[in-house]
Amino acid sequence: MTTLKFSKYNSKLNKMAVELGLAKSAVLSLDLPAGYTCPMANLCLTYANKINGKITDGKEQIFRCYAASSESAFPNTRKLRWHNFDLLRKLDTKSMVELILNSIPKNAKIIRIHSSGDFFNESYFNAWVEVATLRQDITFFGYTKVLPYVKAFKPANFKLIYSFGGKLDAQLDDSTPVCRVVSYSPKSACIESSSDDYIKIMRGESFTLNLHGTQPAKAKACA
- In whole angstroms, what is the distance from residue 4 CA to residue 30 CA? 8
**Mean pLDDT along residues 93-116:** 97
pTM beyond 0.85 = yes
- In whole angstroms, what is the distance from residue 50 CA to residue 52 CA? 6
Report the percentage of the chain scoring pLDDT > 90: 80
**Mean pLDDT along residues 11-16:** 91
Q: Grade residue 223 by pLDDT with cuts at 50, 70 and 90.
A: very low
pLDDT at 218 over 80: no
pLDDT at 191 over 80: no
Each residue's pLDDT tens digit, 127-157: 999 999 999 999 999 999 999 999 999 999 9
pLDDT at 210: 78
**Mean pLDDT along residues 29-57:** 97
The string of DSSP letters for 102-140 reads HHS-TT--EEEE-SS----SHHHHHHHHHHHHH-TTSEE
pLDDT at 188 over 50: no
Measured on CA atoms in the order 78, 184, 168, 201, is the torsion positive or negative?
positive
- In whole angstroms, what is the distance from residue 175 CA to residue 186 CA? 28
